[in-house]
Amino acid sequence: MAKKKLMLDFLLDYVRDSKLRCKVLKAEQTGLRQYGLDAPQRLALLSLDKAKITDKILQEIGVNLDALRDEIWGGGTAITAALAVASAYSEGRIHIRVVKPDQLRLGRTETVSIRGQGFDKTPKVQFQHDASGSAIDGRVTKVTCDVDVHQTLTVRVKLDQAGPWTVAAKNTGEDWNVLDQKKVTVA
């Protein structure tokens, strides 16, 4: 079975390919079907309803804007959201949004995922024990740029003291980011 065509791919091709545009404009249903779009995709496009089309595209690429908005803004009130807009994506600095898991095992090498944005190709991650102040560098094994406007760092770390630790990140040549630190607990 052929891989399902995405509406986003269709829209990109439609903009770039005048032959495809002419084919679709001559006979919309036939052109969309011949491109490989299924009935729900064709109905969404033919509705010319921006919300339906956007929802369908986001669904196809796996983005949940409500969940993303809650993750960035904390799901607060409209005032909280309005205030957060200004700082949500200030370019040029790291924003750590989520650290998972947030419970780690003492003395065990763990894999931690850090989601946020602003990371370069070789960021540094540090875990600092809240009580003693000792710091342990995590080993970043992977940096991915996700479709939902976040990046994910995969980090390996072995923490040697129980209790809360602060997670911080920095890019090459920058200071440690103290604005968007997150906590993990070691037990």
**pLDDT tens figures, 82-97:** 444 444 555 567 888 8
pLDDT at 76: 54
pLDDT under 50: residue ranges of the chain:
79-87
At the topology level, CATH places domain 95-186 in Immunoglobulin-like (2.60.40)
Which token pair is 39?
Answer: 């009935």
pLDDT at 83: 47
What residue type is assigned to position 141 of the chain?
T
pLDDT at 150: 77
What's this model's pTM, rounded to 2 decimal places? 0.62
Q: Where are the domains of the chain?
A: 7-62, 64-92, 95-186
**pLDDT tens figures, 158-177:** 999 999 999 999 988 888 76
Angle of helix 7-16 relative to helix 28-35, nearest 10 degrees, comes to 110
The H or E element spanning position 29 is: helix 28-35
